[in-house]
């Protein structure tokens, strides 16, 4: 039997993995879009491995699919999955479900396992008690040099952000605590479509005729609350019209998947679909029934498959060419997972129509930013680091092509230190300064990374200032800029901060000489820019005033009396504490 032919990008992925693990035992990630053939990459790596290999997935469909691709090489492998009614673990390569393996760790007491492959690895938690982590820890006890490889289309986890720390393009994506250390290969979705490996997505925003989820906010878990979703969709007059429209557009389509917001919503949707052509799958659908319904859909005995959050990964029906999204999605990753169900190639399929009835703001091709999206009309913006030149991707706002605001904290670029080791660039766009050594720290840091001293808490600063008779603390509600003259008639920029009661504090800046402008940037501009790190270098007070849309005011200003006047001693930005800010007044 001839081995399956790998596509060029699959060959590149395998090569990068082999190179990484020859040099390191740090866990690695390969990012390949849905439908790009992760199973073949897994099969090739398992074939090349010298020791034993365990391939894990979270659903039996993926276990079966990955096993089948390996067998296509003419090689034999075991399956360890209760759902597939097989528990074999003696051959060199074992394909298992994580739930079955974690319950039977004694079957894997073998130092011969040298490679662990995890499909849909964005499911690996930072929690060391979680199933995947238990399996990893068990195998590492047998073999300290175990190589751990994860594959996913969406390397992002709600509540955590990116699941890996470094990207091979030379940037930091996830936190230092990330379990996976390096992304060693990534194939962009847009390139896959352009090269003809995936069907083209044709997205239509149907929000005008859809549901208004705009007032809903995810819970602390990152997910929307079912009760709030039901308030929007339950008995909504738009639902019958929406389903009628889907049926109309599906007339020339082969397979339709509908993603509902809640179980009650899905049940209502089923009432408007042709009963003999539709099925519903939820988390409560019994396993046998679920398998029968999915097989009927894949065999095209059913045209419509309605589901609630259960078929976003590990589901493969290439003939799907219409996706209807009737629910809000918490991240671009989830949106891409849903749309990815319809991007596989199939005979007679020209493209995949994606109908979005929920007003989701995501661009299917856009990369994940990694941080939760701040409130308001924000989009991914590119911000160049003034130190290393790395093009960072942050949430922010544009005015035309100009980035006028971003929420980035630290440069994501990787640079080489004197020892030749790749480390994260230390430029910080937003920071708080250590009073002890002057080092710049993350705005959420509690201890200085430079001198290890505890950083002075913002609340303590305010409390101490409020105790002083010669101090004035402003809860800033506004900032006014004006071109003025000093006592000698020289031009100055006057900046005045106001609180809710009309009390004010002012500071003055000169911009006539290069040294004065450098001081203005260091003392004022770097802290006040809504898009810090940008190259704006105003040379006159008028230029600052004309472009004041680029500036933000502090949350609090502390002044101390100096003679007859007050001198500004401290400003607090990005404040999060027990004192109320001006914009939080009831």
User: DSSP for 414-468?
Assistant: EEE-TTS-EEE---BSS-EE-TTT--EE-TT-SB-TTT-PBPPPHHHHHHHHHH-
CATH number at residue 152: 3.40.50.300
Residue 67, token pair as written in the block: 């096993």
**Where does a domain end: 126, 152, 187?**
187
Band of pLDDT at residue 3, cut at 50, 70 and 90: low
CA separation for the pair 232, 519 (Å, rounded)? 53
Residue 365 maps to a domain: no
Q: In sequence order, what DSSP letters do the residues of 288-330 get, joined into one string?
A: HHHHHHHHHHHTTS-SEEEESSSSSSS---TTEEEEEE-S--S
Residue among 22, 21, 62 nearest 42 (CA): 62
What pLDDT is recorded for position 217?
A: 77
Residue 199, token pair as written in the block: 């069907």
290 shares a domain with 161: no
| Mean pLDDT, rounded, for 514-524 | 93
**Where does a domain end: 187, 217, 248?**
187
Residue 369 maps to a domain: no
Residue 239, token pair as written in the block: 């639902």
SS3 83: helix
230 shares a domain with 349: yes
Range of the domain at 473: 453-572
179 shares a domain with 102: yes
473 shares a domain with 397: no
497 shares a domain with 528: yes
What is the dihedral sign for C-alpha 105, 110, 111, 116?
negative
pLDDT at 483 over 80: yes
Q: Write the pLDDT tens digit of every residue in 78-136.
A: 999 998 999 999 999 999 999 999 999 999 998 889 999 999 999 998 888 899 999 99
SS3 185: strand
| Mean pLDDT, rounded, for 17-39 | 93
pLDDT at 169 over 60: yes
469 shares a domain with 347: no
pLDDT at 314 over 70: no
| Mean pLDDT, rounded, for 386-405 | 89
179 shares a domain with 33: yes
162 shares a domain with 53: yes
Pairing between β-strand 147-152 and β-strand 113-119 as defined by DSSP bridges:
parallel
Query: What single-letter DSSP state applies at residue 280?
Result: E
Enumerate helices (H) and strands (E) in the chain, giving the number of each: 15, 30
CA separation for the pair 297, 178 (Å, rounded)? 38
* Residue 212 contacts residue 232 (beta carbons within 8 Å): yes
144 shares a domain with 183: yes
Residue 362 maps to a domain: no
Residue 3 maps to a domain: no
Residue 215 maps to a domain: yes
221 shares a domain with 142: no
Residue 369, token pair as written in the block: 């930013």
Using only the alpha carbons of the chain, give its radius of gyration: 28
210 shares a domain with 175: no
Residue 351 maps to a domain: yes
Residue 579 maps to a domain: no
pLDDT at 1 over 70: no
pTM (predicted TM-score): 0.78
Residue 344 maps to a domain: yes
157 shares a domain with 207: no
Q: What's the CA dihedral at 224, 230, 232, 238 to 10 degrees?
A: 130
Q: What's the CA dihedral at 143, 147, 151, 155 to 10 degrees?
A: 100
pLDDT at 586 over 70: no
Number of domains in the chain: 4
**Range in 277-286, 312-321, 430-439, 512-521 with the lowest mean pLDDT:** 312-321
Taking the CA of residue 349 as centre, how many other CA atoms within 13 Å lie in the half-sphere pointing to its CB? 26
């Amino acid at each position: 039997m001839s081995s399956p032919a790998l596509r060029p990008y699959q060959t590149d992925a395998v090569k990068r993995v082999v190179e990484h693990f020859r040099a390191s035992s740090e866990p690695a990630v390969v990012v390949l879009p849905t439908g790009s053939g992760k199973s073949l990459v897994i099969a090739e790596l398992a074939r090349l491995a010298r020791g034993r290999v365990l391939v894990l997935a979270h659903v039996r469909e993926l276990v079966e699919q990955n096993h089948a691709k390996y067998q296509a090489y003419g090689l034999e492998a075991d399956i360890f999955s209760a759902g597939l009614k097989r528990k074999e673990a003696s051959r060199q390569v074992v394909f298992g479900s994580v739930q079955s393996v974690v319950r039977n760790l004694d079957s894997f007491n073998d130092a011969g396992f040298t490679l662990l492959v995890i499909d849909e690895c964005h499911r690996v938690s930072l929690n060391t008690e979680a199933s995947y982590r238990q399996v990893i820890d068990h195998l590492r006890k047998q073999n300290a040099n175990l190589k751990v490889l994860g594959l996913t289309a969406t390397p992002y986890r709600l509540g955590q952000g990116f699941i890996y720390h470094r990207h091979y393009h030379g940037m930091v994506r996830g936190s230092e605590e990330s379990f996976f250390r390096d992304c060693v290969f990534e194939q962009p979705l847009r390139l896959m479509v352009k090269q003809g490996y995936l069907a083209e997505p044709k997205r239509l925003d149907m929000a005008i005729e859809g549901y208004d989820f705009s007032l809903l906010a995810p819970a602390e878990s990152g997910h929307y609350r079912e009760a709030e979703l039901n308030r929007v969709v339950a008995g909504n007059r738009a639902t019958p019209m929406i389903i009628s429209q889907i049926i109309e557009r599906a007339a020339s389509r082969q397979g339709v998947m509908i993603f509902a917001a809640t179980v009650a919503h899905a049940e209502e949707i089923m009432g408007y679909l042709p009963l003999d052509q539709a099925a519903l799958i939820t988390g409560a659908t019994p396993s046998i029934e679920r398998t029968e319904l999915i097989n009927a859909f894949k065999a095209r005995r059913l045209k419509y498959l309605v589901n609630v959050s259960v078929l976003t990964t590990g589901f493969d029906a290439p003939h799907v060419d219409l996706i209807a999204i009737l629910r809000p999605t918490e991240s671009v990753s989830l949106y891409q997972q849903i749309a990815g169900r319809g991007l596989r190639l199939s005979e007679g399929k020209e493209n995949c129509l994606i109908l979005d009835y929920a007003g989701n703001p995501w661009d299917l091709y856009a990369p994940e930013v990694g941080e939760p999206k701040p409130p308001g009309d924000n989009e991914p913006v590119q911000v160049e680091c003034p130190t290393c030149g790395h093009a960072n991707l942050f949430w922010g706002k544009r005015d035309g092509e100009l980035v006028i605001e971003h929420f980035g904290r630290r440069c994501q670029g990787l640079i080489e230190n004197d020892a030749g080791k790749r480390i994260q660039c230390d430029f910080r766009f937003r920071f708080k300064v250590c009073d002890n050594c002057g080092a710049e720290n993350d705005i959420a840091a509690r201890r200085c990374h430079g001198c290890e001293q505890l950083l002075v808490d913002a609340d303590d600063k305010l409390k101490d200032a409020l105790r002083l008779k010669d101090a004035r603390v402003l809860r800033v509600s506004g900032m006014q800029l004006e071109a003025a003259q000093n006592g000698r008639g020289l031009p100055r920029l006057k900046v005045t901060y106001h609180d809710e009661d009309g009390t004010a504090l002012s500071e003055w800046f000169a911009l006539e000489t290069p040294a004065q402008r450098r001081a203005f940037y260091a003392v004022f501009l770097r802290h006040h820019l809504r898009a810090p790190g940008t190259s704006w270098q105003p040379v006159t007070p008028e230029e600052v005033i004309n472009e004041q849309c680029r500036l933000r005011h502090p949350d609090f200003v502390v002044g101390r009396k100096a003679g007859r006047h007050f001198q500004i001693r401290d400003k607090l930005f990005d404040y999060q504490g027990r004192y109320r800010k001006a914009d939080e007044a009831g």
